[in-house]
Structure 1
Amino acid sequence: MKYHPINASLFIKNRKNFASQMKPNSLAIFNSNDIYPTSADGTMPFEQHRDIFYLSGVDQEESVLMIFPDCPNHELREVLFVRETNDHIAVWEGEKLTKEAAFATSGIKTVFWLQELEKVLFEMASYCDTFYINTNEHYRAKVETETREDRFTKWLLAKYPAHSVAKSNPILQRLRSVKDAIELDLMQQACNITEKGFRRLLQFVKPGVWEYEIEAELLHEFVRNRSKGFAYTPIIASGNNANVLHYIENNQECKAGDLLLLDVAAEYANYKSDLTRTIPVSGRFTERQKAVYNAVNNVKKEATKMLVPGVFWKEYHVEVGKIMTSELLKLGLIDKADVHNEDPKWPAYKKYFMHGTSHHIGLDTHDYGLIHEPIKANMVFTVEPGIYIPKEGFGIRLEDDVVVQEKGEPFNLMKNIPIEADEIEDLMNQK
């Protein structure tokens, strides 16, 4: 791994918190992700399942975690299975976890090779009444591929049909949404790497540069600072491309007078950052561009203030919509008649700001969090309003990642990344 080792105390605490919410005499099982094929003998880069990483720190394929707090055999209350390594594997694939390294990473004392799983599970299953299976119930999830977790669940329930079944996901949704201090430090590192990439671009962007060249500059800066790379597929959208919300082709030339929307950020140790900035390709905003830019920035500032404990996510978005409506009226993009005659299900402001303002962020870019429950301290949210004006040939979005505080305004993990229009211009025009 490129990242520095993470203190195992994080994963020990996470397992303890999860176990405290399990039913009596139950066993929870978590699998690593598959390595997915491309074609021939090609594969996609491995990405660990965030749940097993959250609970163990193990960042390796073919690993299985079992948590059984009430197991009468104390040695089997926490069990980790990893793929057996040897000299041949070390030569062809590189270093894999030994049992000792798996313990150092996770804090789990009982580590078996994967081929022992069925035998050990048989003993554990004879003691327990309920299996916790791990299903993906994120509100944005739309998964068509059968995962390693899915295959294991089918096998498990066929092998042990008399056991009761419970779901791990609701527990993890609550636990993962509230961040530990160690997690916040890791997210801050991701944001700091993102800052380095963005500052690099302010001296690089000019008319005639291509969007993919900007992508290359960012990737260079991210990887040289111990990131695997982008936290998500980068959006580098010049001119009217910015009005396509998920524009990822990044294959157009940046032209004089255009704005460039950059929705780009680094990951660090599997933790994500999520940044959006909009900058003038020529180094200066026009008067109109700056007016819209400042309107978006005003919405972002006011929306940030509202992310406090006790607020409900849906109600928050309604209030942000009111602020955006006010700004659009000032810009002349909508008028009072538009507001008076608006459909409550699709308010007038949605013509120019059609997406949500905030989502949870953490191990996933759209991280776990039960949006029907009130916001809590130490949740981390994006704040990302935008105004998109295809007729004028530009779109503007601004985004930071903020930590909800017990009292007062959220803490901005991206507070050192330039955002004010004048500062952006000054930095782009430095000799």
Structure 2
Amino acid sequence: MKYHQIPNSLFIKNRKKFMAQMAPKSIAVFNSNDIYPISADSTMPFEQHRDIFYLSGADQEETILILFPDAMDAKHKDVLFVRETNAHIAVWEGEKLTKEKATEVSGIQTIYWLSDFDKVFFDLMTEAETVYFNTNEHYRQAVELQTREDRFILECKRKYPAHKVAKSFPILQNIRGVKEPEELELMQTACNITEKGFRRLLQFVEPGVWEYEIEAELLHEFVRNRSKGFAYPPIIASGNNANVLHYLENNKQCKDGDMILMDVAAEYANYSSDLTRTIPVNGRYTNRQKAVYNAVLRVKNEATKLLVPGTLWAEYHKECGKLMTSELLGLGLLDKADVQNEDPDWPAYKQYFMHGTSHHIGLNTHDYGELKTPMKANMVFTVEPGIYIPEEKMGVRLEDDVVIQESGEPFNLMKNIPIEVEEIEGLMAK
């Protein structure tokens, strides 16, 4: 791994939080992700399942975590199974977790080789009454393939039909949404790496540059600072491309007079950052561009102030809609009749701002976290309003990542990343 080793105290705390919410005599199982094939002998780079990482810190394929707080033998309250390494694997694939290293990384004392899983699991299931399965119930999930977790669940139900079944997701949804101080530190590191990439771009962008060249500059800066790279597929959208919300081609030349909407950010230690900035190709915003940009910035600043403990996500978005409606009226994009006659299910402002303002962020860019209960301190949200005007061939979105505080305004993890018009123009002019 490129990142510095994370203190295992984080994962010990996370396991304690999860086990505290488990039913009596229950066992929970978490599987690592598969390595996904492309074709022939090619595979996609391995990405660890964020849940097993959150609970163990194990960042390796073919890993299984068991949590069993009521185990008769105390050594089986938490158990990690890892792939047995050997000299052949070391030569061809490099170092893998030894039992000693697995304990050092996770804080788990009982480590078995994966080949022992069936025997150990059978023994533990004779003591358990309920098994927690880790199903994916995230509100944005759209998974079509069968995962390693899915295969385990089917096999477990076949072998142990008399056991009761429970879901891990509600517990994870509850505990993963509120970040520990160590997690906030990792997310700050990801944001700091993102800042370095963005500042590099301000010296690089000029008329004639290609979107993919900007992508390459960012990747260079991210990787040289211990990131694997982008936290999500980078959006580098110049001119009218900014009106495609998930524009990923990044293959157009940036023209004099256009703006570039860049939704790009680094990951660090599997934690995401999520940044959007919109900059002028030639280093100077036109008056119209500046007016739209500052309207978005005002919405972002006011929306940020609304992220306080007790706020409901649905009500927050309604208030953000009101803020945006006011700005669109000021820009002449809406008139009073548009607002008076709007469809409550699709308000008038949605013509120019069709996505949400905020989402949880953490180990996933669209992270776990409660959405139907009041917000809590140490939840981390993006704030990302935008105005998209296809008829003017421009789109502006601005986004920062903020931590809800016990009192007062949220703490902006991206407070040092330039966002004001004058600062961006000044840095691009150097």
| TM-score category of the 2 structures, normalised to the smaller one | over 0.9
TM-score scaled by length of structure 1 = 1.00
SS in 1 for 2:115: helix
Q: Which residue of 1 aligns with 2:341?
A: 341
Amino acid at match of 2:310: G
The residue correspondences of 1:354-393 to structure 2 (distance < 5 A) are 354-393=354-393
The residue correspondences of 1:26-45 to structure 2 (distance < 5 A) are 26-45=26-45
1:110-134 per-residue CA deviation (whole Å, 9 max, x = no partner) reads 0000000000001100000000000
Is it true that 1:144 corresponds to 2:149 in the alignment? Answer: no
Q: Which residue of 2 aligns with 1:257?
A: 257
Amino acid at match of 2:403: V
Is it true that 1:353 corresponds to 2:366 in the alignment? Answer: no
TM-score scaled by length of structure 2 = 1.00
SS in 1 for 2:366: coil
Q: Which residue of 2 aligns with 1:80?
A: 80
Q: Which residue of 2 aligns with 1:413?
A: 413
Q: Which residue of 1 aligns with 2:125?
A: 125
SS in 2 for 1:198: helix
1:329-373 per-residue CA deviation (whole Å, 9 max, x = no partner) reads 110000001000001111110000000000000000000012111
1:18 Cα offset (Å): 0.3
Q: Which residue of 1 aligns with 2:214?
A: 214
Distance 1:77 1:428 in 2: 56
Q: Which residue of 2 aligns with 1:115?
A: 115
Distance 2:303 2:175 in 1: 25
Q: Which residue of 2 aligns with 1:100?
A: 100
The residue correspondences of 1:309-320 to structure 2 (distance < 5 A) are 309-320=309-320
Q: Which residue of 1 aligns with 2:266?
A: 266
1:237 Cα offset (Å): 0.1
Distance 2:154 2:111 in 1: 24
Amino acid at match of 2:363: L
Amino acid at match of 2:426: D
SS in 1 for 2:39: coil
Is it true that 1:246 corresponds to 2:246 in the alignment? Answer: yes
Q: Which residue of 2 aligns with 1:298?
A: 298
SS in 2 for 1:388: strand
Distance 1:370 1:174 in 2: 6
Amino acid at match of 1:161: P
1:324 Cα offset (Å): 0.4
Distance 1:48 1:422 in 2: 41
Is it true that 1:324 corresponds to 2:324 in the alignment? Answer: yes
Distance 1:73 1:104 in 2: 21
Distance 2:370 2:38 in 1: 34
Amino acid at match of 1:3: Y
SS in 2 for 1:127: coil
Q: Which residue of 2 aligns with 1:47?
A: 47
Distance 1:124 1:247 in 2: 49
1:78-103 per-residue CA deviation (whole Å, 9 max, x = no partner) reads 11000000111000000000000000
Q: Which residue of 1 aligns with 2:171?
A: 171
Unmatched 5+ stretches in structure 2: none
1:75 Cα offset (Å): 1.3
Q: Which residue of 1 aligns with 2:404?
A: 404
Distance 1:38 1:60 in 2: 19
Distance 1:300 1:122 in 2: 53
SS in 1 for 2:388: strand
Distance 2:137 2:374 in 1: 19
SS in 1 for 2:372: coil
Distance 2:373 2:61 in 1: 34
Q: Which residue of 2 aligns with 1:423?
A: 423
Distance 1:374 1:386 in 2: 25
Amino acid at match of 1:276: T
Q: Aligned-pair RMSD on alpha carbons?
A: 0.4
SS in 2 for 1:199: helix
Q: Which residue of 2 aligns with 1:185?
A: 185
1:105 Cα offset (Å): 0.2
Amino acid at match of 1:129: E
Distance 1:74 1:330 in 2: 65
- In the alignment of these two chains, the number of paired residues is 430
1:8-48 per-residue CA deviation (whole Å, 9 max, x = no partner) reads 00000000010000000000000000000000000000000
Distance 2:406 2:259 in 1: 38
Distance 1:355 1:118 in 2: 46
Distance 1:89 1:46 in 2: 16
SS in 2 for 1:382: strand
Q: Which residue of 2 aligns with 1:286?
A: 286
SS in 1 for 2:212: helix
